[in-house]
Amino acid sequence: MVQNPPSLTYSGFKVFAVLLIVVAMIVFIAYILRKVNLVGNRFIGGENFQIVSRFPLGERKYLFLVRIGKELILLGVTPQNITFIKEMEVDNFFVQSSNEESNFLKVLKKKVRGKVK
């Protein structure tokens, strides 16, 4: 008895379906990895590393205030580079009154002693 080979349309559909499933799995894994944030606090130092605040300066340009242990580091971040701006002690940086919360920009202006553009 002679078997007929599967049609070209059926074979093409099977290849397309498998390819679609593989691409969907890759997109799903990428989504899960972004949600889990593998470069977050868990893997970079736990409680000793924290991004305290982020201040946008323009399109894709930011100031980051990062706490590492008992030190605060102010970084300028652009798509091309990361620039160290200033290092401060945590204890000396946060001085808050009991009535109002201190604003990151106000405290930053006091500590850097200059205008933030």
Cα–Cα distance for residue pair 109/116, rounded to 1 Å: 7
- Token readout for 110 is 């006091």
C-alpha separations of 87 from 3, 68, 72, 77 in Å: 77, 10, 6, 15
Q: Read off the pLDDT band of 78 (50, 70, 90).
A: very high
- Taking the domains of the chain in order of start, what are their residue ranges? 1-36, 41-112
- Residue pLDDT, tens place only, 84-116: 998 887 766 665 443 344 566 676 666 666 554
- pTM, entire model: 0.44
Residue count of the chain, please give it: 117
User: Would you state the pLDDT for residue 41?
Assistant: 44
- What is the rounded CA–CA span in Å between residue 78 and residue 57? 10
